[in-house]
């Protein structure tokens, strides 16, 4: 409604003028609070994630607005709300402090740095893995699966195996068929929700597999994939009839890069990718082809060179790696690493074959002078 009041007189004394300003502001705020709930819901749907979180924390009236189902398709749009949100890099704020409760969230799209407090897991729990907004955290004797944006539904697994360097979930909790795999030095440990206890798998082929802690475990089509320090591919899955574990090393599948500095596995639009960075800071991407035929396992597979990600972007860290269609066109065809250079995230552009930083798109010559936190991961802000 238009405001037809006359302008305030400048002859009023300061105190009286301030009083009038305060009355106007209170009236304005009261009108906002009195908006119908469906109007507040429409406003909330148009907000960016951080603004949405702040919006709900203003007052009780705003908290009555139904939670947005970010992963559901809007009836008015052809895209998902979750596609409006870029993955964020989450890492502990105080790495030299015994408490890991406070974490930073870095937005590579808008460059914002936010702080979040993780409430439910113990203070010494560290981030090990992420999947679709869920964090897997662990301390010396337990594993916690926690959603930092919802802050409810924490799942605790006691008597967890010690000294594991890789974790992966087959599906989002609390699905009854969820399988959790933990990779140790001499064994694979897995927890099935239907059984409710930890099992251990050992074999000579896994012992000979050169383990590394910089490549995440990727679950795809019922199989957990591992990448060795020599670029070899390994696979672990559970038999349907007995529930026992099976390990397979792809011995005939040679590493596509004989020499490299870092290597990662990643999920890309339902396919398995291997990513190699070399000492000259070149990046090479390969796609695994011919991994199933006729519903039966076929072990004759090959790596195929990938020169473009198309509309996708990869978000890669030591604990998780996945692909998304980003909300901004200038983020496409890039690989975002869990490394900071100054106040920006380091990314690799497949169009120019160069590294940059998100702070000012400055060219980064190499990974020297970059920072990577031990217990960091990419997380998708969903709930």
What is the rounded average pLDDT for all residues in the chain?
81
Predicted confidence at residue 69, as pLDDT, reads 62
Joined tokens for residue 120: 């439910």
33 versus 168: the higher-pLDDT residue is 168
Q: Are strands 218-220 and 271-277 parallel, antiparallel or unpaired?
A: unpaired
pLDDT at 239 over 80: yes
- Rounded-to-integer distance, Cα 146 and Cα 169, Å: 13
Question: pLDDT of 293-314, one tens digit each?
Answer: 444 454 568 999 999 999 999 9
Cα 53 from Cα 37, distance rounded (Å): 17
Binning the chain into helix, strand and coil, the percentages to the nearest 5 are 15, 35, 50
More confident residue, 224 or 262: 224
Between residues 188 and 20, the one the model is more confident about: 188
Spell out the residues 6+ positions from residue 96 whose beta carbon is closer than 8 angstroms to its own.
none
346 and 335 Cβ atoms separated by less than 8 Å: no
Cα separation, 195 vs 168, in Å, equals 18
Burial class of residue 334, CB neighbours in 10 A (0-12, 13-18, 19+): buried
The predicted structure's pLDDT at residue 290:
74
The two structure tokens encoding residue 168: 């992966």
- Nearest 5°: phi and psi at 293? -145, 130
pLDDT at 96 > cutoff 70: no
pTM above 0.85, yes or no: no
User: What value does the mean pLDDT take over residues 29-55?
Assistant: 75
Percentage of the residues of the chain whose pLDDT score is greater than 90? 39
Whether 251 contacts 233, CB under 8 Å: no
How far apart, in whole angstroms, are the C-alpha atoms of residue 231 and residue 234?
Answer: 10
Domain ranges of the chain: 26-68
Residue 233, strand partner residues: 227
pLDDT at 234: 95
Q: What is the pLDDT of residues 156-214, one digit of tens each?
A: 888 888 889 899 999 987 787 899 999 999 999 999 988 888 999 999 999 999 988 88
The residue among 91 and 61 whose pLDDT is bigger is 91
Please tell me the predicted confidence (pLDDT) of residue 11. 43
pLDDT for 71 equals 52
- Which of 96-100, 108-112, 155-159 shows the lowest mean pLDDT across its residues? 96-100
Q: Which residue has the higher pLDDT, 36 or 336?
A: 336
Helix, coil or strand: residue 171: coil
User: Hey, is 181 helix, strand or coil?
Assistant: strand
Beta bridge partners of 113: 106
Question: Which pLDDT belongs to residue 56?
Answer: 76
Q: Is the pLDDT of residue 377 over 50?
A: yes
Residues in the chain, total: 383
Residue 30 — very low, low, confident or very high, per pLDDT cuts 50/70/90? Answer: low
Label residue 269 left, alpha or beta by phi (over 0 means left) and psi (-120 to 50 means alpha).
left
Spatial separation of the C-alpha atoms in residues 354 and 334, rounded to whole Å: 10
pLDDT tens for residues 246-280? Answer: 999 998 888 998 778 889 999 999 999 999 998 77
Q: What local confidence, expressed as pLDDT, does residue 291 receive?
A: 53
Average of per-residue pLDDT across 328-338: 93
Percent of the chain with pLDDT over 70: 81
pLDDT of residue 116: 85
Among the residues of the chain, which ranges form H helices?
Answer: 14-33, 37-45, 49-56, 60-63, 204-208
**Burial bucket for residue 98 (CB in 10 Å: 0-12, 13-18, 19+):** exposed
Q: Please answer whether residues 336 and 315 qualify as being in contact, where contact means their C-beta atoms are separated by less than 8 angstroms.
A: yes
Closest to 371 in 3D by CA, of 332, 349, 333, 344: 344
Q: Pairing mode, if any, of strands 313-316 and 334-341?
A: parallel
pLDDT computed for residue 299 by the predictor: 55
- Flag whether pLDDT at 358 surpasses 80: yes
């Amino acid at each position: 409604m238009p405001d037809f009041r006359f302008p305030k007189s400048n002859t009023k004394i300061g105190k009286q003028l301030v009083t009038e300003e305060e009355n106007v502001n209170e009236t304005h705020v009261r009108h906002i609070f009195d908006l119908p709930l469906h109007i507040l819901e429409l406003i909330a749907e148009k907000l960016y994630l951080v603004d949405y979180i702040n919006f709900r924390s203003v007052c009780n009236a705003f908290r009555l607005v139904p939670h947005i189902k970010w992963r559901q398709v809007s009836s008015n749009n052809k895209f998902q709300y979750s596609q409006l949100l870029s993955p964020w890099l989450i890492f502990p704020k105080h790495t030299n402090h015994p408490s890991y409760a406070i974490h930073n969230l870095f937005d590579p799209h808008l460059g914002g740095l936010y702080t979040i407090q993780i409430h439910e897991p113990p203070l010494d729990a560290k981030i090990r893995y992420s999947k679709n907004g869920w964090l897997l955290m662990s301390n010396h004797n337990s594993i916690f699966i926690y959603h930092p944006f919802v802050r409810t539904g924490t799942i605790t697994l006691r008597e967890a195996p010690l000294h594991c360097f890789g974790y992966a979930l087959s599906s989002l909790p609390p699905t009854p068929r969820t399988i959790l795999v933990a990779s140790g030095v001499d064994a694979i440990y897995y927890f099935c929700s239907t059984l409710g206890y930890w099992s251990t798998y050992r074999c000579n082929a896994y012992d000979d597999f050169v383990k590394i802690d910089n490549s995440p475990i990727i679950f795809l089509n019922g199989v957990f994939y591992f990448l060795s320090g020599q670029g070899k591919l390994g696979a672990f899955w559970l038999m349907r009839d007995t529930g026992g574990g099976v390990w397979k090393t792809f011995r005939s599948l040679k590493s596509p890069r004989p020499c490299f500095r870092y290597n990662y596995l990643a999920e890309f639009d339902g396919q398995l990718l291997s990513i190699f960075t070399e000492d000259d800071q070149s990046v090479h991407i390969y796609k695994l082809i011919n991994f199933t035929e006729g519903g039966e396992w076929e072990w004759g597979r090959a790596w195929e060179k990938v020169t473009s990600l198309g509309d996708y972007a990869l978000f890669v860290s030591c604990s998780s790696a996945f692909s998304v269609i980003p909300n901004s066109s200038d983020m496409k065809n890039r690989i975002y690493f869990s490394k900071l250079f100054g106040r920006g995230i380091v990314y690799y552009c497949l169009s120019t074959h160069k590294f940059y930083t998100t702070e000012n798109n400055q060219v980064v010559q190499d990974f020297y002078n970059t920072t990577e936190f031990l217990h960091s991961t990419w997380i998708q802000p969903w709930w």
